[in-house]
């Protein structure tokens, strides 16, 4: 089980059909290399040397060496099919049909199964793509943490932004069966995907992937019908055959049959349990948030005063200073999507501390800074 230990020597290599992008922790931009048009054709690597050379080029551009890299495969270099919630046996059949329909040698394909709201999504890709990318990274002294499809993070588009990378970097998650470097997890459903595109909420709101029981209503009906017919046959044989004989027949004990009106519920001891996969929601903890408090007034000590007030709410990571920008109202800028109750309590604390009525709130999720929330103090007279 690999988890994502993002630090200053970690990065994310995002591989697409037409290019590769490298995001390094602490950087305000990405490094990009565009592939030659002859590299890929229908997800087959036609020019292996050119592809490997491009991956090496992007790694060599970064200043830090020997970094840990997570390789993420974009939605445009995988085959995907969403399937409804069906039994294990039917799911295996549908997966085999899907794999066989892909215009590529099955020996070159690898796939993972992930839960989605409507059932499961089967994501398959060409093993040559990620093997070449991994070998290129490792040949330059860096190591690969894991290789996962973008769908694991809830990313369904081929483009990824710095804000999405920041959300992935802060997510505390284990990849498990989603990692293409693991061998032989076929048939297992990835238990812990997240969605960085939707407030880090799991893709299945219930948290459980349901799989229907393999015992159908039709089968139960046939069993009941068989029992009833058997009972009727026994009654007719006794009435018209045995009772019609003059010979003395020893009375036989009555045959009692229990007719099952409905299929009994299976218990773990009676049948093989169908596994439930619980997806834990990624929560934002106050202690993980970094706050920047800037004073844009001529009154000294306001930033420290605000820090003391907000720290009583449970926040502990602060950076205080003076602002070069002069504003008329207190302003809160969010660089990360935080719970509404956090924003409300911070606003109320500032209003109470500085006796201000108006606080401007802005959201700027596209920018990535060393802090998550910035507070600029302005319009304060005491």
Both structure tokens of 161: 């932004």
Q: Which of 358, 363, 348 is nearest to 378 (CA)?
A: 358
100-104, 139-143, 155-159, 369-373: lowest mean pLDDT where? Answer: 155-159
Q: Among 91-95, 139-143, 201-205, where is mean pLDDT lowest?
A: 201-205
**In this prediction, what percent of the chain has a pLDDT beyond 70?**
70
Q: If pLDDT is split at 50, 70 and 90, which confidence band does 185 have?
A: low
Mean pLDDT of the chain: 75
Report the greatest alpha carbon distance in the chain. Answer: 121
CATH T-level topology, domain 286-377 = Alpha-Beta Plaits (3.30.70)
The Cα-based distances of 284 to 200, 266, 289, 339 in angstroms read: 9, 39, 8, 8
The answer as to CATH 3.30.420 being correct for domain 10-178 is yes
Q: Are 80 and 151 in contact (CB under 8 A)?
A: yes
Residue 269 C-beta-side C-alpha neighbours within 13 Å: 0
Chain segment 268-325, per-residue pLDDT in tens: 444 444 444 443 444 678 888 989 999 999 898 999 999 999 999 999 999 999 988 8
Element (H, E) at 309: helix 302-311
pLDDT on residue 326: 82
- What is the location of CATH 3.30.420 in the chain? 10-178
pLDDT of the residue at 295: 93
CA distance 10 to 317: 22
Bridge partners (DSSP) of residue 208 are: 278
pLDDT in tens, 236-267: 776 655 555 444 444 444 444 444 444 455 45
Could you tell me if residue 61 is left (phi over 0), alpha (psi between -120 and 50 degrees) or otherwise beta? alpha
Which of 320, 304, 314 minimizes the C-alpha distance to 354?
304
Query: From the CA atom positions of the chain, what is the Rg in Å?
Result: 31
pLDDT tier at 191, thresholds 50, 70, 90 = low
Quote the pLDDT of residue 3: 40
> Which residues make Cβ contacts (< 8 Å) with residue 63, sequence separation at least 6?
none
Residues 84-107 have pLDDT tens digits of: 877 777 888 888 888 888 888 878
If you search the block for the tokens 């800037």, which residue do you land on? 294
- pLDDT at site 220: 62
Q: Give the DSSP letter string of 107-130.
A: GGEEEEEEEETTEEEEEEEEHHHH
Q: Contact 129/77 with Cβ under 8 angstroms?
A: yes
Please answer whether residues 373 and 335 qualify as being in contact, where contact means their C-beta atoms are separated by less than 8 angstroms: yes
List phi, psi (to 5°) of 2: -100, 135
- Give just the sign of the alpha carbon dihedral 296, 297, 299, 304: negative
CA dihedral 354, 357, 358, 363 (to 10 degrees): 70
Q: Give the DSSP per-residue string, 213-275.
A: -SS-HHHHHHHHHHHHHHHHHHHHHIIIIITT-SS--PPPPP------SSPPPP-TTTSPPPP
List of residues 6+ apart from 148 with CB closer than 8 A:
70, 71, 72, 73, 175, 178, 179, 180
pLDDT one-digit tens code per residue, 53-66: 988 888 888 756 67
Residues 109-135 pLDDT 10s: 888 888 877 788 888 899 899 899 999
């Amino acid at each position: 089980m690999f988890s994502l230990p993002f630090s200053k020597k970690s990065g994310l290599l995002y591989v697409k059909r037409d290019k590769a992008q490298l995001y390094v922790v602490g950087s305000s931009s990405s490094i990009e290399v565009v592939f030659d048009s002859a590299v890929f054709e229908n997800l087959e690597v036609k020019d292996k040397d050119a592809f490997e050379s491009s991956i090496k080029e992007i790694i060599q551009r970064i200043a830090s060496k020997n970094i840990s890299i997570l390789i993420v495969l974009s939605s445009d270099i995988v085959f995907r099919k969403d399937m409804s919630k069906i039994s294990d046996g039917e799911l295996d059949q549908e997966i085999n049909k899907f794999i066989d329909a892909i215009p590529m040698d099955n020996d070159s394909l690898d796939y993972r199964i992930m839960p989605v709201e409507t059932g499961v999504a089967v994501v398959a890709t060409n093993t040559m793509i990620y093997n070449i990318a991994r070998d290129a990274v490792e040949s330059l002294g860096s190591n690969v943490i894991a290789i996962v499809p973008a769908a694991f993070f809830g990313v369904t588009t081929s483009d990824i932004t710095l804000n999405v990378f920041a959300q992935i970097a802060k997510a505390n998650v284990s990849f498990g069966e989603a990692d293409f470097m693991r061998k032989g997890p076929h048939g297992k459903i990835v238990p812990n995907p997240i969605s960085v595109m939707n407030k880090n909420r799991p893709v299945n709101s219930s948290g459980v992937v349901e799989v229907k029981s393999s015992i159908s209503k039709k089968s139960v009906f046939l069993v009941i019908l068989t029992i009833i017919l058997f009972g009727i046959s026994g009654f007719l044989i006794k009435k018209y055959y045995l009772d019609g004989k003059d010979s003395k027949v020893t009375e036989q004990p009555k045959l009692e049959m229990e007719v099952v009106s409905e299929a009994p519920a299976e218990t773990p001891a009676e049948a093989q349990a169908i596994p439930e996969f619980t997806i834990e929601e990624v929560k934002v903890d106050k202690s993980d948030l970094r706050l920047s408090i800037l004073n844009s007034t001529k009154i000294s000590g306001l930033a420290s005063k605000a820090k003391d007030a907000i720290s009583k709410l449970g926040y502990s990571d602060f950076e205080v200073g003076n602002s070069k920008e002069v504003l008329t109202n207190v302003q809160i800028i969010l660089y990360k999507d935080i719970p509404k109750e956090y924003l409300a309590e911070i606003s109320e604390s500032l209003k109470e501390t500085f006796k201000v009525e108006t606080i401007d709130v802005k959201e700027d999720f596209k920018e990535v800074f060393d802090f998550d929330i910035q507070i600029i103090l302005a319009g304060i007279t005491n």
